[in-house]
Structure 1
Amino acid sequence: MGMLQTMRWFGPKDPVSLMDIRQAGCTGVVTALHQIPVGAVWEIADIEERIRLVGAANGTYSSLHWAVVESLPVHEDIKKGRPTRARYIENYKQSLRNLAACGIRTVCYNFMPVLDWSRTNLSYEMPDGSRALRFVWEDFAVFDLCILKRPGAEAHYEPETSEAARKKFERMSAEAVTELGNIVLLGLPGSEESFTLTTFQGLLDEYGSIGDRELRENLYYFIGEVAPVAAEAGVNLCIHPDDPPRPLLGLPRVVSTEADLAQLMAACDLRANGITFCTGSLGIRPDNDLPGMIRRFGDRIHFVHLRTTKREADPRNFYEADHLAGDVDMFAVVKEIVLEQQRRERAGVGETSIPMRPDHGHQMLDDLNSGKRTYPGYSAIGRLRGLAELRGLELGIERSLAEQARNRSAEPRPTASAQPF
């Protein structure tokens, strides 16, 4: 059975080709129509063209198919609860219907305000010379306090952090300042757009009256509108957790913890209202019990991102670790996923092979020296290494569980003791 092995592909301009993905052992592709403006309808013709493009790479080789949409973006007016959200929600519903009509049934999205994800270093050197993504709270404070100069930012940092950030900023070269600003202001993955300081501050200002409660209400309203349509069409929606899973830039984050996910699942009690279980994002927080969360939310998990992060001395700092290292107990996580798939097979309910992709691989080997420019975290070889490790881990767990089941069935059953006359 096993998880459906996939990789993310950013479209025709992605330097990691579809055949690279197939040769890594994948049969599924995770992609999106990045060229369509956020909020516009994904028309059937555009969806079919992407399906054709993915399939055309097969030639005489084993097939690839578009398995998961990542992501169908949620317009900022929906997140902010503006009156215009009605139009964008209707567009979202139509996109879901169109995807279903084309046979695509799993749609990932997120509800993070303004920024999709945040890092402060895209080429952190590891002990083996490979390069990883990293987030440093003090460096983020440098951006917020000294580069962006966000009004009121001081209130979101401890005095010692603010002081250390300002001192670091004074020592930074102009090139280092520019680089940090560019990293934080990156746009959506797959997009070639990035923010400017002026436009970025303007977007933050629009959230001035939106706190934790308001953002949750807007999320629950959105899912209450679209999940019934998804369920009727046979589509599973799956929200991606916040990355990193804590408030940034004065913006609330409402999909960071088990309690957040439980509230969202309860807000719309349909299986179509589901989860993208990203072990990297959720694993940043030590209070998230990942194996337990899989047991408790198993039926709502429609897509899995397997990666692990490593917290540093300041636990707000982390870097992307090797897939079987870091703070995530990947053995326990994969075992629970295998057990969930077996439960679905026995019950005859849900997808018995949950789509999985190895997330955020290290830049390594030829990808360090070839001059190939890939999206941060999405070089080919680092993800290939992660997928190979995860594939072996899953196979070992499946074989071990099967052997345990055989041993239990071979044990002699106790016989009833003779009863005296």
Structure 2
Amino acid sequence: MKEFTPTSYTLRCVATGREFPDEGWSLDDPSSQVPSLVRTVYAKRRLEVGPEDHGIYKFADWLPVKRMLKGSSAPVTYKSKGLAGYLGLENLYITFNGYHPAIGARMTTCSFKETEAYSVCARAEEHTDRVLVVASAGNTARAFAKVCSDNRIPLLLSVPADNLDALWFEQPLDPCVKLICCERDGDYFDAIHLSNLALRSDRFYAEGGAKNVARRDGMATTVLSAATAIGRIPDYYFQAVGSGTGAIAAWEANLRLIEDGSYGNHLMKLMVSQNAPFVPMYNAWRVDSRDLLAYDDDRARRDVEIIDAKVLSNRRPPYGIAGGLYDALKATGGEVLVATNAQARKARQLFLELEGVDIYSAAGIATASLIKAVADKRIDPSAVVMLNITGGGEARFKQDKELWYLRPSHTFPITAQADEVAEKAEALFV
């Protein structure tokens, strides 16, 4: 795309503090005796924001990338008037990830999952015979599919059959992108299991989820967008969570900004929310448990069926791991909140009326939680509040367009065997 010098960084184990070089796709520290996330330690401790036409790579100083891929857009932060006035907040800033040309937001998948995909795929080696594997409840798959199609990066997606409507695109994808899915009534956890079966083949390599520093640092650009637009670190950070990875990334970005020294030296309070009745992290947090509480698989699947925000349905989130969401909440004095479908629907309508753009169900959960927090007088009206709108503008983007949908090459039962999955997945990339 453009001449680009790979970002210089090392990795640090959160649990032990050991610093070591990235071997290319390191997802953890093999010498650590306890489960732990690893973090990037960038050579540039002061952030220099690049030109706007670099898209998300304007934050490349703090992205673990080897190159710039085409087609990216950065999150856009602006000071709210409509919602802020309604809530009586003097300093409400909205970080918008989606399609809203009026404010310069042009993520054509309409989700902040683009921030992950452009970072992860730019961390990968440019020339490899192996195929990247991504499991998703929908939005992540759409983002990775677009990025990999546009940049000719081989990709195998695993998505629940119930979520296939999320795989819409403006035009047909390059055949380097393939899709397998688990049968009806499966959920995100089942999609992860199916992807793990495919990964038994050496032909494939795992994207890594929350363990991939590129995923977290890509998501962290939402906070970099906010801090550089506002001129300081926010006091509060609101976001809906399924895995909590975005909130972990926000905490990590906050720590880097403190080290930078240009944006303040305080930790913003993480205010994360889940969609009731699927609230495993809320249940653990309210009893101060690092470990998630027991959650029957059948009940979990039923609860996932109920919630509007299917993307928030991770049953195995990086909650208790060293450097995970539990630690992030403890460090920042954060809270886990809950909103219902009805509250989120009302919040989404309010956002459309006051801010002029449609938002996704997950963003509706975050907005509803902000509304409740203000009503409960938990937010000082003069505080600097960041509301991370993780997806929106789909209705606007789809207007007058004929869409193309990615369909699965194979649909497997939840009880599928590893050999069958690996063999059929391999055959897709002959």
Same fold (TM over 0.5): no
The structure that has the greater radius of gyration is: 1
